[in-house]
Amino acid sequence: MNLNPIIDPNKRYDFMLVFDVMDGNPNGDPDAGNLPRIDPETMQGIVTDVAIKRKIRDYIYLTRGHLEGFDIYVKHRGILTNEQKKAYEELGKQEGDSSPATVKDARQWMCEHYFDTRMFGAVMSTKKFNAGQVRGAVQLTFARSVDPIFPSESSITRVALTNADDIKGGDVADEEARAGQMGRKAHVPYGLYIAYGFYTPSFATQTGVGEEDLKGLWEALINMWDLDHSAARGRMACRGLYVFAHESRLGNAPSSQLFEKVDIQRIDKGTVARSYKNYQAIFDEGMPEGVAMHKIISSFE
């Protein structure tokens, strides 16, 4: 897997990420009892950009977090102002100093030390330790399933109780203690999802994105699924990563035109899809001048 052609921070990249889930919940909706997210009109599955970025952040922190400049600003259960406070302490600034020069220096410090601030941007214009705002070089769309999905719920039981007074009558020897409690578990039998992303070098220049940042991004999109396993996730994997590299910083063709060069279709619509092998990718190899398509991962060939 050669990533060298797509790690130049001065080039524009548009990319298409294809991943699947089997017997898992790729992104639960808290407003719907944690059922898998869906488009209610088409029944296509949805995975938010926030959920995808969370996996990227976790992968970078686990694989590069010990390196200078690869800390993560938005951590699990983190306190954002605590991270901004580090910038003020390193710069020798006071908490209430929100002068333009201080905010600019703090913003620069945050970009230098946090991968996700450089790549995804951040709103850090808080009352305490104001570090301004950063527009990230990488933007992602929601992922949408190729076909409609059918969210399912399965009944599950637990043989242990949470509290002693959950037992009827409070008798520890009660039959209820051995029977346990009932619960529900949501999952998608199978879904193949596509998300789109955009890397803009003009924003990268402002935040200081380098080759190692881009290399980390591509590696995360491919491998982050293996560091995110859980009983709720089921089986998830990257099935395709197609990167369109532009010679021009401003781009040589519209991204919408490039994404149409890869068309993923069901092979036999009369069967129920339960694997990526039920799909095929049809490629239009005719690229606009100044654009090259790199098939980093392509499980459909």
Share of the chain above pLDDT 90, in %: 76
Mean pLDDT value of segment 184-211: 95
Q: What is the pLDDT of residue 171?
A: 56
CA distance readout (Å), 295 to 138, 255, 300 = 19, 16, 11
- Please state which of the ranges 52-66, 152-166, 282-296 shows the lowest mean pLDDT: 152-166
Contact between 53 and 140 (Cβ < 8 Å): yes
Q: What is the pLDDT of residue 169?
A: 55
Tell me: pLDDT of 215 over 90.
yes
User: What pLDDT band is residue 68 in, cutting at 50, 70 and 90?
Assistant: very high
User: Locate tokens 């996730």: which residue?
Assistant: 233
Give the model confidence (pLDDT) of 230-254 as tens digits: 888 889 999 999 999 999 999 999 9
CA pair distance 233, 21, nearest whole angstrom: 8
User: What pLDDT band is residue 186 in, cutting at 50, 70 and 90?
Assistant: confident
Q: What is the pLDDT of residue 32?
A: 86
Tell me: pLDDT of 173 over 70.
no
